């Protein structure tokens, strides 16, 4: 009986401890104001992308020619474009496309980068091959490579995702590889080998979990980079094809009328700045939170 009671007591103490640790973590989380700002911005933009389209009174594809290039008004809070389409609706629908592309690219590069980085760190021969391929890809400026890939793949939203994933995977692979090489030499990796673990287990169950924090940070920055690059591609006409709205191709459309219709340049521009700034702040904050070792003295 007594043992059971003391067990209960222990589990109570443990519960309390866990609660306290969670509180401490929360405190640390919220003490970084910039990161919270970034996080809130991203959450807001995500909500805009998912819920926004349901609230928009206008169809973003509907052209009303007599309303073309109207300045912001009560009816069209952000004005209309050169086909008379409501700019607010287009920006809100564009959020889904732009953030969708950014997120997909971040997810795919994380996955590919993880595989390439982990195996490159573990096998010397693979390391030479994979890292030289990555070096090759990285030696071409990202945007040029993306344009080249897009012109060979053809303008399609899916192709934008594929092209950007190819452009950004080497960066993630590098980050993962460098971290994994450090982990590989840790005694606990040797220790688990001594216990008779297979290579697969060593790589995926023991090295991989230790690379998650740099991966999360890298993925956040890739997310931001992908948004910028997608916008740049669309701005150059090699990104999201015409009728679909994306912040980049709204900017592209606005370029022609920049002196008569400033709103077509300013508002999508603000959206791009907001999302990229938000993601960068979030990424910086996450790095400080997850990787205390690289916490260069800030105060």
Cα(56)–Cα(86) distance, integer angstroms: 10
Radius of gyration for the chain, computed over Cα atoms and rounded to the nearest angstrom: 24
In the complex, least distance from residue 215 CB atom to other proteins, rounded to whole angstroms:
13
**One character per residue 114-133, x = contact with other proteins (rule: CB under 8 A):** ----------x---------
Query: Which of residues 23 and 186 has its CB atom nearest to other proteins in the complex?
Result: 186
Question: Exactly one of 7, 12, 73, 260 binds other proteins (CB under 8 A); which one?
Answer: 7
Distances from the Cα of 26 to the Cα of 22, 29, 244, 283, 289, angstroms:
6, 5, 40, 17, 11
Residues in 179-208 that interact with other proteins by CB under 8 A: 186-198, 201, 206
For other proteins, which is the closer residue by CB, 213 or 265?
Answer: 213
Query: Which residues, 6+ apart, have CB-to-CB distance to 153 below 8 Å?
Result: 159, 162, 163
Query: Cβ of residue 8: shortest distance to other proteins, in angstroms?
Result: 12
The nearer residue to other proteins, 68 or 201, going by C-beta atoms, is 201
Name 221's Cβ contacts closer than 8 Å, sequence gap at least 6: 279, 280, 283
Cα separation of the two ends of the chain: 53
Minimum distance, C-beta of residue 212 to other proteins, in the bound complex (Å):
8
Q: Is 10 in the site for other proteins (CB under 8 A)?
A: yes
CB of 189 to other proteins, least distance (A): 8
Q: Whole-angstrom Cα distance, residue 216 to residue 226?
A: 15
How many angstroms separate the CA atoms of 73 and 89, rounded? 14
Q: What is the contact mask toward other proteins in residues 140 to 179, using x (rule: CB under 8 A)?
A: ----------------------------------------
According to the binding rule CB under 8 A, does residue 216 interact with other proteins? Answer: no
- Of the pair 152, 187, the CB lying nearest other proteins is at 187
Q: Specify the residue, 65 or 194, whose C-beta has the smaller distance to other proteins.
A: 194
Of 22 and 255, which has the nearer Cβ to other proteins?
Answer: 22
- 209 part of the interface to other proteins, by CB under 8 A: yes
Q: Quote the tokens at residue 250.
A: 């709204």
Minimum gap (Å) between residue 210 Cβ and other proteins:
6
| Binding status of residue 292 toward other proteins by CB under 8 A | no
Least distance (Å) from other proteins to the CB of residue 130? 17
Binding mask 67-106 for other proteins (x = CB under 8 A): ----------------------------------------
Which residues here bind other proteins, judged by CB under 8 A?
Answer: 7, 10-11, 14, 124, 186-198, 201, 206, 209-210
């Amino acid at each position: 009986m007594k043992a059971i009671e003391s067990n209960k007591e222990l589990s109570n103490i443990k519960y309390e401890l866990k609660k306290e640790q969670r509180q401490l973590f929360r405190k640390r989380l919220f003490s970084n104001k910039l990161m919270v700002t970034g996080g809130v911005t991203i959450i807001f933009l995500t909500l805009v992308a998912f819920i926004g389209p349901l609230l928009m009174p206008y169809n973003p594809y509907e052209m009303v020619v007599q309303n073309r290039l109207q300045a912001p008004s009560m009816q069209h809070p952000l004005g209309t474009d050169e086909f008379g389409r409501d700019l607010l609706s287009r920006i809100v629908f564009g959020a889904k496309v732009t953030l969708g592309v950014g997120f997909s690219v971040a997810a795919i590069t994380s996955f590919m980068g993880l595989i390439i980085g982990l195996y490159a760190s573990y096998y010397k021969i693979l390391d030479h091959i994979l890292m030289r391929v990555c070096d090759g890809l990285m030696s071409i400026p990202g945007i040029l490579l993306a344009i080249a890939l897009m012109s060979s793949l053809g303008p399609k939203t899916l192709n934008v995702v594929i092209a950007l994933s190819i452009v950004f995977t080497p960066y993630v692979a590098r980050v993962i590889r460098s971290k994994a090489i450090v982990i590989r030499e840790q005694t606990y990796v040797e220790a688990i080998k001594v216990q008779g673990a297979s290579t697969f287990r060593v790589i995926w169950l023991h090295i991989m979990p230790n690379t998650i924090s740099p991966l999360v940070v890298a993925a956040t920055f890739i997310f931001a980079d992908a948004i910028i690059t997608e916008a740049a591609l669309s701005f150059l006409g090699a990104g999201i094809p015409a009728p679909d709205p994306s912040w980049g191709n709204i900017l592209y459309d606005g370029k022609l009328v920049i002196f008569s219709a400033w709103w077509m340049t300013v508002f999508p521009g603000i959206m791009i700045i907001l999302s990229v700034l938000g993601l960068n702040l979030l990424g910086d904050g996450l790095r400080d939170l997850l990787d205390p070792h690289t916490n260069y003295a800030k105060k």
